[in-house]
Amino acid sequence: MSAALDPTRTTAPFDVESIRADFPILHQDINGKPLAYLDNAASSQHPQIVIDSMSHYYERDHANVHRGVHTLSQRATDAFEAARENVRRFINARSTKEVIFVRGTTEAVNLVAASFARPGLRPGDEILISWLEHHANIVPWQLLAGQTGAVLKVIPITPAGEVDFAAFEQLIGPRTKLLALAHVSNALGTIVPVERFIAVARKHGVPVLLDGAQAIPHSKIDVQALGCDFYCFSGHKLCGPTGIGVLYGREAILEAMPPWQGGGDMILSVSFKGTTYNQLPWKFEAGTPDIAGVIGLGTAVQYLEGIGMDRIAAYEHTLLEYATERLTTIPGLRIIGTAPRKAAVISFALEGIHPHDIGTILDVEGVAIRTGHHCAMPVMEFYGVPATARASFAFYNTRAEVDRLVAALLKARDYLT
């Protein structure tokens, strides 16, 4: 058995150096300095076992999935559907019928907008989102509102970066047809108490979509316990490949939804008299899928289960606390978003220095962070800043890397002011 999938890891002391050994990309120099990769909210890194699983498919099993009678096709199909079961278990969906493979969170949201929301919307109906959202959970609803005459309503946020629950209770009403919320803010790290919002939505009979792209890498997700109708996430945020993601949907709702795209694999039969659609989950998976990406994602969630999501969350919380404490010692540094419950993400501004300049200086020091508006321009508008610098941590990061971040920021401050 690979050490990366060793079940004893879930009970052994958290050994970050052993975990780091699983990630080949971490062991390199950037500009002559050891890499400190602190851009995990944009995209996390891959353990070797994920890379190997995709290479094995391409080297040994590459063929199109489903309906093939030859050995390679059958092996590819088995690996593809085994990955679906891995994802089902990882999020505790009731059935693999509720696990739809898509290109990522953005495609998942657009699928729900087109297939679930659009058919039932009438002029004056309301879609409810928050000021905290990523553009992927704003623009699809703006497009839909423009096409249907629906109204997009926005829940405000507080100065700490929390979604205003009292304001939400005032906004939801009889015309509300959907609540779409981020589970965790990508720009600020705020953990939204979505259970409270879902409970109110249920009382109003309002279905709920959660953008889980930033939540699922940092904590154990149980879609049944959450009680949401849709949960969307991307593979590349949780040690999987880019270009693959998941839409979870309640089976009864998915059954009632029309297909989103037409083509191969989403049909049972086609004639010029009409088409019979495939059953779930394939009804929503038109065309040849990203087979290697699905296999890589299935391996990634196995890898994370082998470490334990609760242990990952606990370790990352200690990193967040340490980084917050260290960063607040830097003169002129302002943390943007100070909610008491946060994932391991810190956005900040350094007085007198543009975030892009910060990012450039840090890169010279081998420290990789993200700078910009983080696809959350309304959040930047709320705080009155054009952009922020963002350090985002994963379970393979260390306190020593936090120290390097602080040292590099002090150097940038001295150099640029």
CA nearest 392: which of 246, 239, 214?
Answer: 214
Cα–Cα distance for residue pair 98/94, rounded to 1 Å: 7
Q: Strands of 261-344 (E only): list them.
A: 267-271, 274-277, 333-336
* Structure tokens, 26: 């971490």
Task: Answer whether the bond into residue 281 is a cis peptide, omega within 30°.
Answer: yes
Name the residue among 88, 109, 114, 117 with its Cα closest to residue 251: 88
- d(CA 284, CA 141) in angstroms, rounded, equals 20
CA-closest candidate to residue 223, choices 244, 177, 259, 254 = 254
375 a catalytic residue: yes
Three-state DSSP at 350 gives strand
> Which position among 228, 232, 239, 375 bears the catalytic label?
375
DSSP assignment of 163-200 equals: B-HHHHHHH--TTEEEEEEESB-TTT-BB--HHHHHHH
Cα–Cα distance between 201 and 396 in angstroms, integer? Answer: 37
- Strand bridging mode 126-130 / 99-102: unpaired
For residue 11, the tally of other CB atoms under 10 A from its CB is 8
- SS3 of residue 274 by DSSP: strand
**Could you list the active site residues?**
375
